[in-house]
Amino acid sequence: MSWSKLKQQLEGFLSPALQGKVEYRATGYRYLPDKAGICYIAVDKKNILNMSDATTLIKWYQSEQEIKNDSSIDIPISPQQIEAVRMNTEGKIPEDRLIVIARSRVISDLAKELLAAQASLSKSNFTAAATKFLSSSIEESLESKDILLNILALMDRRVGRKRIVSMSEKIKLKHPAVQYFFELRLRKG
């Protein structure tokens, strides 16, 4: 599918409050086939999410340690996760330490997912993700681990205000890019 047709379809699914504010853009290099083009999402004419550049307004992580040390990441720990640690350690560890171990395990898993997801962003991946988004259900896109599918679904008109509000806990575990577009949708409607 051509870029212009894909862009038209994606922008047709935008929430009415975001139409005219959010724009999908792409550049390509006709005479340099080995050089990938750049895709980005612009909000109010500012490039917010550049799929192949770490200099966007959204924080990109370079290592697992950055994610672990980022105090802005709030990781909710469930009783089941604490119980799993208790079972693994055969109950020999104090309760307060169990929470620390469970949080560390969750953050480590989350860090690996975030790094893998942001490493896959490029023009060809944007096109593939956008095509997948257009051909799959909105639920699949919202539950996906793919950053782009999450973002496209959050900006979709088929996702209502109630649903957006009910997702606030799940969004805390997503990449900052997904969190940014979640907040945008929450503010704009």
Task: Record the pTM.
Answer: 0.69
In the 8-state DSSP scheme, what is residue 125?
Answer: H
pLDDT of residue 50 exceeding 90? no
Task: List, for residues 39-48, the tens digit of each pLDDT value.
Answer: 778 899 888 8
Q: Are 59 and 71 in contact (CB under 8 A)?
A: no
- Alpha-helical segments (H) within the chain: 3-12, 64-69, 79-88, 95-119, 123-135, 138-143, 147-154, 161-166, 168-171, 176-188
Indicate the range of 9-13, 79-83, 107-111, 136-140 predicted with least confidence: 107-111
- Confidence at residue 154, expressed as pLDDT on a 0 to 100 scale: 93
Over residues 80-99, the mean pLDDT reads 85
Task: List, for residues 51-85, the tens digit of each pLDDT value.
Answer: 655 455 566 667 777 777 777 777 778 889 888 88
Distance CA 51, CA 178 (A): 13
Give the residue with greater pLDDT, 121 vs 184.
Answer: 184
Tell me which long-range contacts 68-74 makes (C-beta under 8 A, separation of at least 24): 68/104, 68/107, 68/108, 68/111, 73/107, 73/110, 73/172, 74/172
